[in-house]
Amino acid sequence: MSYRLVLHICCAPDATIGIERLSELGKVLGLFNNPNIEPIDEYFRRETEARRLAVMMGFDYRELEPDREAWLEAVAGYEDEPERGERCRRCIAHNLENVALEALRLGIPAFATTLTASPHKDIDFIHDKGKEIAVKYGLEYIDMTLRKKDGVRRSLELTHQHGLYRQDYCGCRWSQKNKG
């Protein structure tokens, strides 16, 4: 069966609800794409959890090799912005674009992101940027808001059920000061 969509996985806890809901549309390829995560031990920990979840939930999975230099370039000049500010918009846009390019390379017609499971993210921005990138590459962006319809509670339930590690900061070096 061919893939219906690529699902950008930002972390395993958010992927639980993402896989559960987006699999209703067809076959999903989970793509871990997070060049923003630091330090490297934390990156490996989150990637390992996503890979482990793929086995437990039975979905196909890939990791996109993290290009940290390109990500740092994308947010350069905006390092001191608060969360949800311009640094985050550039980070999200950069990562979504990478996911779209991978979908294009693999011949998969659509993409979505688990970032919409987070109660802390600007959902309107994510969807607007996703649609803009989709148009640019002739793809479909699936604007499902995973945190809706009790999504946050359900992802916590699945995270607990699968015994997943749940991080306490978003991912980049600047977000570590907001831990907890």
State the residues that interact with ligand SF4 by CB under 6 A.
36, 75, 83, 87-88, 91-92, 170-172, 174-175
* CA distance readout (Å), 156 to 16, 50, 61, 128, 164: 9, 15, 21, 27, 10
CB of 47 to ligand SF4, least distance (A): 15
Nearer to ligand SF4, 88 or 100 (CB): 88
At 132, the amino acid letter reads E
- Percent helix, strand, coil in the chain, to 5, is 55, 10, 35
3-state SS, one letter per residue, for 78-120 = CCCCCCCCHHHHHHHHHHHHHHHHHHHHHCCCEEEEHHHHCCC
CB of 152 to ligand SF4, least distance (A): 17
Nearer to ligand SF4, 88 or 158 (CB): 88
CB of 110 to ligand SF4, least distance (A): 23
Other residues' Cβ atoms within 10 Å of the Cβ of residue 85: 12
Nearer to ligand SF4, 26 or 85 (CB): 85
Nearer to ligand SF4, 112 or 172 (CB): 172
Query: Which residue's structure tokens are 């330090």?
Result: 39
CB of 65 to ligand SF4, least distance (A): 18
